[in-house]
Amino acid sequence: MNEIPVVFGAERHLVGTLTLPTEGTPAKAAFVLMNAGVVHRIGPHRINVKLARHLARLGFASLRFDLSGQGDSRVPVSALDFAQQAVADIRAAMDHVARTADVHRFVIAGICSGADNGWNTAQADPRVVGLCMLDGYAYPTPKTRWMRYRLRARGPILSAVLPWLRRKVAAFRMPKEDQVQADGGRTPPSHADYARTMQSLVDRGVEVCVVYSGSMLPQYNYVDQYREAFAGHGFATRVRSEYQPTIDHTVTPLSAQRQLLDLVGDWARTLK
Residues of the chain with pLDDT under 70: 152-185
Query: Cα angle at 251 between 248 and 257, to 5 degrees?
Result: 125
* Domains of the chain by residue range: 2-140+185-269, 141-174
> What one-character-per-residue DSSP string does the chain give?
-EEEEEEESTTS-EEEEEEE-STT---S-EEEE--STT--TT-GGGHHHHHHHHHHHTT-EEEEEPPTTSTTPPPPTT---HHHHHHHHHHHHHHHHHHHH----EEEEEETHHHHHHHHHHHH-TTEEEEEEES------HHHHHHHHHHH--HHHHHHHHHHHHHHHHH--PPPGGGPPPBTTB-PPPHHHHHHHHHHHHHTT-EEEEEEEGGGTTT--STTHHHHHTTT-GGGGTSEEEEETTS-TT--SHHHHHHHHHHHHHHHHT--
- Determine the pLDDT at residue 182: 46
Please report the pLDDT score of residue 178 as a whole number. Answer: 36
Quick: pLDDT tens for 184-196.
567 899 999 999 9
| The CATH classification of domain 2-140+185-269, taken from the options 1.10.150.20, 3.20.20.70, 2.60.40.3500, 3.40.50.1820 | 3.40.50.1820
Q: Is 59 exposed, middle or buried (0-12, 13-18, 19+ CB in 10 A)?
A: middle
